[in-house]
Amino acid sequence: MAKNILITGASVAANTAAFWLGRGGCAVTVVERAPSFRDGGQNVDVRGVGREVLRRMGLEQAALAQGTGEEGTAWVDGEGRPVAEFRTDEMAGDGPTAEMEILRGDLARLLYEAARDRADYRFGDHVTHIVQDGDGAAVTFASGGTERYDAVVVAEGVGSTTRELAFPQENDPRWMDLTIAYFTIPPTPDDDRMWRWYNATGGRSISLRPDRHGTTRAMLSVQKPPEGEQDWSRDRQRQWLAERFADAGWQAARVLEGLATTDDFYFDVLRQVRMPRWSNGRVALTGDAAWCATPIAGIGTTLAVTGAYVLAAELLRHDDPATAFAAYERAMRPMVEEGQGVPKIAPRLMNPHSRLGIRLLHGVLGIASTPALRDAAAKLFARPPKQPDLSGYPTDVAAVAVAR
């Protein structure tokens, strides 16, 4: 079993892996570029096998208790009137809104607080160089030190720099032709507990979602081919959004006012990470660094929790990291490949460019949300991908030694 393990990143996948590896007896170091733990972020959901992993960690009920309180999803017109609604209390299972809706930062912190008693967290540092040999990996940090590890787990985001050190030029991204921005704005009295989604011409959409912190989570998206916007400065990105949505209608003015002052701003041009392999010697990838499916797929957090758990379990089961990494990839590839199978036309269909296209989308959604079709339509939003067999892995914290 790998005794000394480095994990890069400190979000959902990283903290899940640190939790299990620490409890399995490994010496775990987690290094994070940010100067402190990063809260914030938008709504995420955990479904199916991901919830089973949280249950095994003893964290499922805590995650539910920290939920956003979102009561469903509504598409609205320019006056804010619902044209289609999927309410959670009217459906047999998860739909666009899952039972476990939680802010990314809240879930990451829940996992971090559960993991940090068995792991050494180092904030404000990152990996600059990795040299491998037959016995381990020598890792050099920006802070100047070099340390040896039996295995390195890269659990960073879609633009992971550590991935590029160990897997240079192996990422062949699949661009999804959707630019998206998330940020927090002040609430108003008419904000409710629904996820409200508004379509404007030009492939634009605005959505507002509730949280449990007394603020409202806003999202702006534009359906268009990528033109390098992800590399712009934050000021240029904000200015571009302000110009693009100035005439969008509905609550655009309010959202753009919040955009100008928010300090919780995330912007990205969506692309999937497509890696031919997830391991190279003593280094393995997990989470978005390995397979970012994008928010369009709706299973990113479920994949992060599940993949990190499977990777940790295999490292605890096998003395040789290469054997563990191969078993992890066999277990997770089917789920990842199905989850990444979102057709590129999907963003175009959900973000029409013309008034006719918006009317057609609203008409289809209105029919799908009728009582006779609602449950069947909801399954399209919550389509479960293939799931790995977890029967050979620890069922709870007390049983983690079984995997060793």
Tell whether 256 is covered by a domain.
no
- Residue 210 CB contacts under 8 Å (≥ 6 apart), including other chains: 68, 69, 70, 191, 192, 193, 194, 195, 216, 217
Cα 56 to the center of its chain, rounded Å = 20
Asked whether residue 254 is assigned to any structural domain, the reply reads: no
DSSP designation for 167: S
203 closest CA partner among 179, 231, 227: 179
CA distance 133 to 262: 46
Residue 78 lies in a domain: no
Question: How far apart are the C-alpha atoms of 128 and 286, rounded to whole Å?
Answer: 19
Judge whether 307 lies within some domain.
yes
pTM: 0.93
> Could you tell me if residue 32 is inside a domain?
yes
Number of structural domains found in the chain: 1
Structure tokens at 371: 């009582």
Strand (E) or helix (H) holding 336: helix 321-339
Strand partners, 334: none
Other beta carbons less than 10 A from residue 177's beta carbon: 19
Q: Where on the phi/psi map is residue 44: left (φ > 0), alpha (ψ -120 to 50), or beta?
A: beta
pLDDT in tens, the chain (404 residues): 569 999 999 999 999 999 999 999 999 999 999 999 988 788 899 988 999 999 999 999 999 999 999 999 999 999 999 999 999 888 766 678 778 899 999 999 999 999 999 999 999 999 999 999 989 999 999 999 999 999 999 999 999 999 999 999 899 899 999 999 999 999 999 999 999 999 999 999 999 999 988 999 999 999 999 999 999 999 999 999 999 999 999 999 999 999 999 989 999 999 999 999 999 999 999 999 999 988 888 889 999 999 999 999 999 999 999 999 999 999 999 999 998 988 889 899 999 999 999 999 999 999 988 988 877 776 666 666 778 989 889 888 777 754 44
Token pair listed for 244:
């693009």
Domain that holds residue 166: 4-41+59-69+100-173+272-343
pLDDT of residue 403: 46
- Compute φ and ψ for 298, nearest 5 degrees: 75, 10
261 within 8 A of 210, measured Cβ to Cβ = no
CATH number of residue 121's parent domain: 3.50.50.60
